A and B are shown apart, each in its own frame.
Chain A
Amino acid sequence: DQQVKQNSPSLSVQEGRISILNCDYTNSMFDYFLWYKKYPAEGPTFLISISSIKDKNEDGRFTVFLNKSAKHLSLHIVPSQPGDSAVYFCAAIWSTSGTYKYIFGTGTRLKVLA
């Protein structure tokens, strides 16, 4: 059972426009969410995170929104740039006994068209 779902495997956006990547989760115990960006043949790199007690976190062109009632989070990239073309993974975390446990979504491939 996939507890973290990214239902769109791919997304194409024109350069300069907004990219919106979505992630749905099922477990209310998750207390932190992260987005990672991954280029082909490389490891993922951390992009932005949000605590479950917040509903928005912004870092430059990247904003993550959390809707707890809908168990939904989204990553907005404005304006989108060709270098943003990558696979984006959302991850949900819950803590137990001082340890953090991760679940990753399946990823969304973003293509920004010049």
Chain B
Amino acid sequence: DGGITQSPKYLFRKEGQNVTLSCEQNLNHDAMYWYRQDPGQGLRLIYYSQIVNDFQKGDIAEGYSVSREKKESFPLTVTSAQKNPTAFYLCASSMKGIRGYTFGSGTRLTVV
């Protein structure tokens, strides 16, 4: 079955540590996205990538980094510079020129 997989589902991080969230898709989608969901704030775009080896900052990129070395994979690193990293993180993908997103099931990151 084609889909988009995020791992892990739950992640705990100590303050000052970097942590990487995985996102893999086998839908042959060109574009991939990372969103963050906070209560009462909807989904906010962190980074997106339209093609391999290229990515763009979204609305709240500070404290995050990404890479897109393969079409299938778009990992997100939450760095120690991110001041408030506790949130639910969603990865999505889409074909270029297609409006609908396919979302992963999310990763809940908690800083302890």
Contacts and interface: CB of A to CB of B under 8 A. Distances in A.
B56 to A, nearest CB: 10
B48 to A, nearest CB: 9
A49 B106 CA distance: 23
B43 A42 contact: no
Interface string B13-51: 000000000000000000100010000111111000010
B42 A46 contact: no
Size category, B interface? 20 to 34
Contact of B100 (A6, A46, A104): A46
B10 to A, nearest CB: 9
A16 to B, nearest CB: 29
A100 B99 contact: yes
A34 interface: yes
Contact of A105 (B9, B42, B92): B42
Given A32-B99, A99-B50, A43 B104 contact: yes
A9 interface: yes
A46 B103 CA distance: 9
Interface of A: 4, 6, 9, 32, 34, 36, 41-46, 49, 89, 93, 98-100, 102, 104-107
- Nearest 5 interchain pairs by C-beta: A43-B103, A106-B42, A104-B43, A104-B42, A43-B105
